[in-house]
Chains A and B, each alone.
Chain A
Amino acid sequence: MLDVMELSKRYGDREVVKNVSFHIDQGEAFGLLGPNGAGKSTTISMICGLIASDHGDIQWAHQSIKRSPVLIKKKIGLVPQEIALYPMMSAKDNLLFWGEMYGLTRREASQRLKEVLAYVGLEARAKDKVETFSGGMKRRINIGAALMHRPELLIMDEPTVGIDPQSRNHILDTVKKLNEEGMTIIYTSHYMEEVEMLCDRVAIMDHGEVIADGTHQDLRQRLVGGTMVHAVLEKVTHEGIAAIEQLPHVEEVVEKGEGQYEIFVQHPHQTLSRIVTAAVQNGIMISSIDVKEPNLESLFLQLTGRSLRD
């Protein structure tokens, strides 16, 4: 349904998106995962027609956004990272206004209003000014504004940044529900657990490039060393780390700073005791050590040597 083809964008000397391609089917929930500055928002801005690409094309149902921008924009609902609302206006007036911006008549917008308020769970606060809302409630209205025109594709750019757990759960439930009802979703985040929970397929971006993509299963299989051992060490020596790296079933040791290490291993329970022994023999003190199930965070760490939230 949505084809992103060899998309590139440059600002001066800096290439912020490099040859990005992916395909999303109708009704699919697609995650774009990556740290801040990875190029997710720029990619999304190009999909929404906010900025023009230097190279490549975006097609929705085989129609290019370059040729039919208005037609494609009508089918997209964007939830921007910032709260793009008018704080002095009520939730209701904000939703009606954004409905009109997407081409609804006042009457159509009024009819849709109740449904959207129910989606975001703020029917009781409809007449209150947005400036009186908590951060989480503002984010919910921010999502509501993108739902007014019943978009076929909902693009959410980090919709849960800086909010309380209750609002976060509400938002995630809403996204899940919308996707179950058939809405195609692009969800960007640097919270890998959100992407894992909501999305069928994921593309991991770093430095403007897609460094891995596929289903969760595909991506886990790409991990060299299926499991990650997280250790907090003291009195670390180069020889000690080298000794751990040479142990059987140990694939890679990644230093995360402040004495924290991620050790990618096969057969974690057999290997754990060997890691502890090698560390002690080399004078390394272990403050804590635990085994983590493989996830997208582990893959990102292995691919880039950095954490998603670095």
Chain B
Amino acid sequence: MKWVSIAFKDLRVRFQDRKELVMLLLMPLLLTAILGTALGGTFGEGGGAPDTTVAVAMDAEDEMIEQLVEEVWQGEGSPLTVVSYPTEAMVKEAVQTEEVDVGVYFPSGWGEQLMDGASPTTTIHSSPEKTIQTSIVESMTTTFISRVQSQSLTTQSFVRELSASAADGEITVQPEAQIEGFSERLSASSDIAVENDVATDSGSASISGMQYYAAAMGVMFLLFNATIGAKSFIEERNTQTLARMFSAPVRPVSIVAGKFMGTMLFSFLQFVLFIGATALLFQVSWGENYGQLAALGVVYSMAVAGIAILVASLFKEEGNADAVGSIGVQVFALLGGSMIPIAAFPGGLQMVASLTPNKWALDSFLAMMSGAEWASLVLPFLVLSLFGILSLLIGSLRLRGSVKG
């Protein structure tokens, strides 16, 4: 089990490097705090949000729905474009075929119920890839419903109060009592159901800016381990510790396995520490299913460790690996959605993003945060595992010559 000794030796060496620890553990926390706080609104209020096409279907003409669509969804500065469909089924189909980003269905009597101060049911159809767009539509609709309900309740209450006072022959209104009544009734309002039509087992909870950037920074900084792991391998080659290992009775496969596991273990520990720290410090919710989180940690760490071996096989000097690796991480981070949400990318670039492991990891995080089922995570987990295995295989084959000295 010499590979275990090599892996734990690497782990020990990395924990001794304070500069590296600060970069890998504190920097992502700092950036999450800054980006999550500064750009948190992006995910709830539409400001600077991605352009979103919304399919709308309603059972009957409704003045309130028209008001919502024309004045709120398509108001000045809104990122929403609305397309009308005759039936809910067609809305669902449009979402499934990705003709639109989000679909909304209003049942008959929606506006009437709202005017009565009740909570009309609104059904939002979405797909797991459109969590941000869904959040925008949901948030704008909820705000509208709350505003109308409060106005309606106020009017009704004043009318009742006035009627009662007029009957008693004196006109007195008690605003405190009315306000308390509105609050109680409003707290139970806004009955919006989000249905996922592309992967019906995916989650539905909306994601905050802090959650998004915690996940984004987590995957980006974990990716730095690919460069650090590669540098560690090259350093061993240049300082002759690798040659010394080969003069000992250690098989080449044990050395590569040990280096791979060392990077994977460190990445996983970084993953656990980061999730724990963001949950404690910023109250980031990473979803309810810890099993899914652990599985993602394992497959993503595996992908990162595999890339480290591949990078080590491409360079002979640490400096070159460092320079190219750092640029690579930033390009991957940009493409994979760690800096700007992928939803804001044009279609072609979104396809390119699928070539980056961090995109799959980020998607998985967001899905978990929305309460996704295991079935919807199979594909990203499989892709991340393949990234790791293929990179490890190609890297090992390329390293074979140099590893044998």
A89 touches B239 (CB 8 A): no
B2 touches A88 (CB 8 A): no
* A83 contact set on B, CB distance < 8 A: 239
Contact of A98 among B13, B17, B243, B244 (CB under 8 A): B244
Question: Quick one: closest A residue to B4, CB to CB?
Answer: A100
Question: Quick one: closest B residue to A103, CB to CB?
Answer: B249
- Cβ proximity bits A35-61 to B, threshold 8 Å, 1 near / 0 not: 000000000010011110000000000
Report the separation of the CA atoms of residues A78 and B2 in the bound assembly, to the nearest whole angstrom: 18
Question: Quick one: closest A residue to B238, CB to CB?
Answer: A82
* A51 contact set on B, CB distance < 8 A: 405
B244 touches A89 (CB 8 A): no
Report the separation of the CA atoms of residues A100 and B254 in the bound assembly, to the nearest whole angstrom: 13
Contact of B16 among A70, A73, A88, A101 (CB under 8 A): A88
Contact of B240 among A84, A89, A97 (CB under 8 A): A84
Report the separation of the CA atoms of residues A84 and B9 in the bound assembly, to the nearest whole angstrom: 14
B5 touches A100 (CB 8 A): yes
Q: A85-B241, A88-B16, A93-B12 are in contact. List 11 more A-B contacts (CB 8 A).
A: A49-B247, A73-B248, A81-B240, A82-B239, A84-B241, A84-B243, A86-B13, A86-B241, A98-B244, A100-B5, A101-B2
Report the separation of the CA atoms of residues A49 and B243 in the bound assembly, to the nearest whole angstrom: 10
In the complex, whether B245 has a CB less than 8 A from a CB of chain A is yes
Chain A contact residue count (CB 8 A cutoff): 29
Question: Quick one: closest B residue to A49, CB to CB?
Answer: B247
User: Which parts of B243-295 form the interface with A (CB within 8 Å)?
Assistant: 243-250
Question: Quick one: closest B residue to A69, CB to CB?
Answer: B249
Contact of A70 among B5, B244, B249, B405 (CB under 8 A): B249
Residue picked from B5, B244, B250, most chain A C-beta under 10 Å: B244
B228 to chain A, nearest CB (A): 13
* A74 contact set on B, CB distance < 8 A: 249
* A100 contact set on B, CB distance < 8 A: 2, 5
A102 touches B249 (CB 8 A): yes
- Cβ proximity bits B200-212 to A, threshold 8 Å, 1 near / 0 not: 0000000000000
B244 touches A86 (CB 8 A): no
In the complex, whether A228 has a CB less than 8 A from a CB of chain B is no
B249 touches A50 (CB 8 A): no
B138 to chain A, nearest CB (A): 51
B120 to chain A, nearest CB (A): 64
Contact of A89 among B5, B9, B250, B405 (CB under 8 A): B9
* A86 contact set on B, CB distance < 8 A: 9, 13, 241
* B250 contact set on A, CB distance < 8 A: 101
A141 to chain B, nearest CB (A): 12
3 cross-chain pairs, A with B, having the tightest CB-CB distances, nearest first: A88-B16, A84-B244, A82-B240
* B12 contact set on A, CB distance < 8 A: 89, 93
A97 touches B5 (CB 8 A): yes
In the complex, whether A76 has a CB less than 8 A from a CB of chain B is yes
* B5 contact set on A, CB distance < 8 A: 97, 100-101
In the complex, whether A80 has a CB less than 8 A from a CB of chain B is yes
Contact of A80 among B2, B9, B244 (CB under 8 A): B244
Report the separation of the CA atoms of residues A74 and B405 in the bound assembly, to the nearest whole angstrom: 18
A58 to chain B, nearest CB (A): 13
Question: Quick one: closest B residue to A129, CB to CB?
Answer: B16
* B241 contact set on A, CB distance < 8 A: 84-86
Question: Quick one: closest B residue to A87, CB to CB?
Answer: B239
* A70 contact set on B, CB distance < 8 A: 249
Given A85-B241, A89-B9, A97-B9, are A49 and B2 neighbors across the interface (CB < 8 Å)?
A: no
Residue picked from B13, B240, B243, B249, most chain A C-beta under 10 Å: B249
